[in-house]
Structure 1
């Protein structure tokens, strides 16, 4: 069964913006999420396949509503809970 990120051949998402964006991040928090990802992965807390699976396992409604780095942060939080680093819901605001 295809996950929400597998939209190959699906129509109705509108045109793709193909203009070049010269900035790698649009907000400071996005760069921090990438740094957090790199630090945790380097410590062996999770690997790239686990990270990708965590993103792809997001509920469809959340996945579609989230920005690129919001998906990264959601996946990191899910992995931290799954690995027992934080308690479920510990980061809920």
Structure 2
């Protein structure tokens, strides 16, 4: 599992001043896609979180927040990079 919450050694969290919700258009699309798939029952929020946590550690630590979301969506839907993709 890749839950690093509460662990030391990752440095302080320094939010950007006036940080936007999304840094790029693709992030908003990934967010909307995930909301849609959960609402349609394609997978549950628990399954989504588990898919994020199952990323290989080196990929998890190198990925941005929404890159992790995209990875989970792909894993759960068999998309690019997914188990069936």
TM-score range, shorter chain: 0.7 to 0.9
Work out which of the residue numbers 30, 35, 57 in structure 1 matches 2:54. Answer: 57
User: Structure 1: 5+ residue runs without aligned partners?
Assistant: none
Q: Structure 2 length normalisation: TM-score?
A: 0.84
Change (3 A) 1:58 1:87: closer
**Which residue matches 2:76?**
79
Runs of 4+ with >3 A deviation: 18-22
User: Structure 2: 5+ residue runs without aligned partners?
Assistant: none
Work out which of the residue numbers 12, 28, 38 in structure 2 matches 1:15. Answer: 12
Local SS of the residue matching 2:23: coil
Mark the structure with the bigger radius of gyration: 1
